[in-house]
Structure 1
Amino acid sequence: MKKIIENIQIAIIVLFSIIGFAQDKSSNTVSLDVFYSKIQNEKQPQIIDARGPEEFALNHINGAVNFNLESKDYAQRIAALDKSKPVFIYSIGAGRSVWLANDLLKKGFKEAYSLQGGIANWIGSGKPFYVNSKSKLTLEEYKKVIADNDAVLVDIGSKYCGACKKVKPILETIRTEHGSNLKIVEIDLEENPQVIADLKSIHVFPTLILYQNGKIVFKKEGLNDLKKDVDLALAQK
């Protein structure tokens, strides 16, 4: 019984922490332009990648170090930072980075900024980044797929993105119903970062783009009404 009570207490603490982070989100989450500009103004910017080590190893912002609230050496990593200088944090979206930025501010850091849209926004806008492998798809190949098919639905995301995983079953339903009338292309950050960077128009994961006859019919940031919008567009062909 004592153990159960302790677990309940921990759960309550975590819940209120998350609520607190959400309430403070607007105070430290900044646009890509602001984030990038502030980094450029620093001689040795303190950049933190708040994703997991596997994600970081595949790609990250140049000069970033990798840790988050769950890291075993979290306290030591924080102690190594300069509280008097700004800290720039990003994750896959803006979840873990917001939590980390808030924690730094509570610990007395002068400035801590979370990047709106996370790594998707940085790479998807064409900003410089490190990558450990060559993209499987080039921009030229991407354009050829668009040109060679009457209708193409492109799903751009990451296997580490929770919302991106929810798109997959919807895509399967769309694929089953429309068959050869619709080409579906799935582009993930882990295997195709360069084509995402070359598009220079991706600001969040997932992003869904429907092309017809080489032209964009719609571009959705998120999966809301995806199937409905695809069905409607193809019905009007």
Structure 2
Amino acid sequence: MTNKIFKSSFTVLFFLFTTSGFSQDKSSSSIVLLDAFYAKIKSQKNPQIIDARGTDEFALNHIEGAVNFNLKSEDYEKQIAILNPAQPVFIYSIAAYRSGILSTELIKRGFSEVYILEGGIASWIGGGKPFYTNLKSRLTLPEYKKIIADNNYVLVDIGSKYCATCRTVKPILENLRTQYGEKLKIVQIELEESPQVIADLKTVKVFPTLILYQNGEIVFKKDGLGDLQNDVDVVLASK
């Protein structure tokens, strides 16, 4: 009899434990691609968009309607208090690092839905979505196309001075300049100088983006650094 009571009690406790697990807080954060991120924002009457970059980055360009703060901001608590935890929050930065840290903190504070834009501001502007900038692009799309048309080989480096990986590209580019000289035209485009041409190209998903053209045609497009030196050598060394 005692054994039956024990089994019955265990069954009840197991049921309560498992059902309580399903009823726990369903807060979550997700890294989503541009189109899904954009669609979710457009579905909200007053979307809560957070630019988790620094204030200097935000001042140069940002998603329209975004507010700017991260965990290091002096007004962090004030900015959090303004948000509605029951509504979705949309976060972006250069890559996923600052966005991810902020997302984790928001989930801990009980925010129900947090979405991180994969590729950050590069994906947004590079995908041709509306953005604010206080700069006129140093390079225009017609000028870009003319450079491509006027040179046999053109290597285009698209990035940002605030992107850590982008900085590692610079010495490789200098080595390629020395190695190939006038045979290879190298064009460097930074978000802080020419945002509109990045938007007009509608091909950038991350920083850095590297594109090699041969006689006006794309030989390769790299989303990220990869083995740039070797990839360029494969194309040019035998020419």
Q: After the TM superposition, list the runs of 4 or more consecutive aligned residues in structure 1 that deviate by more than 2 angstroms.
A: none
Q: Which residue matches 2:134?
A: 132
Q: Which residue matches 1:148?
A: 150
Equivalent residue for 1:170, pick from 149, 164, 172: 172
1:75 corresponds to which letter in structure 2?
Answer: E
2:169 corresponds to which letter in structure 1?
Answer: V
Q: CA deviation at 1:76?
A: 1.3
Equivalent residue for 1:98, pick from 97, 100, 103: 100
Measured in 2, the distance between the counterparts of 1:56 and 1:36 equals: 19
Counterpart of 2:231 in 1: which secondary structure? helix
Q: Render the CA deviation track for 1:190-235: whole Å, top value 9, x for unaligned.
A: 0000000000010000000000000000011111210111011012
1:95 corresponds to which letter in structure 2?
Answer: Y
Q: Which residue matches 1:202?
A: 204
Measured in 1, the distance between the counterparts of 2:121 and 2:148 equals: 25
Residues matched between the structures, number = 212
Q: Which residue matches 1:227?
A: 229
Q: Render the CA deviation track for 1:156-181: whole Å, top value 9, x for unaligned.
A: 00000000000000100011000000
Measured in 1, the distance between the counterparts of 2:222 and 2:151 equals: 20
Structure 1 contact 147–214 (Cα < 8 Å) conserved: yes
Measured in 2, the distance between the counterparts of 1:128 and 1:236 equals: 43
Structure 1 contact 28–98 (Cα < 8 Å) conserved: no
Note the 1:1-237 alignment, pairs <5 A: 27-237=29-239
> TM-score if structure 1 supplies the norm length?
0.88
Q: Render the CA deviation track for 1:52-102: whole Å, top value 9, x for unaligned.
A: 000000000000000001111111111110111001000011111111112
Measured in 1, the distance between the counterparts of 2:176 and 2:89 equals: 43
Identify unmatched segments of 5+ residues in structure 1.
1-25
Counterpart of 1:43 in 2: which secondary structure? coil
What percent of counterpart residues are identical? 68
1:49 corresponds to which letter in structure 2?
Answer: D
Measured in 1, the distance between the counterparts of 2:66 and 2:238 equals: 47
Measured in 1, the distance between the counterparts of 2:190 and 2:165 equals: 13
Q: CA deviation at 1:27?
A: 4.6
Measured in 2, the distance between the counterparts of 1:35 and 1:221 equals: 19
Counterpart of 1:76 in 2: which secondary structure? helix
Q: Which residue matches 1:8?
A: none
1:210 corresponds to which letter in structure 2?
Answer: L
Structural RMSD (CA): 1.0
Measured in 2, the distance between the counterparts of 1:46 and 1:91 equals: 15
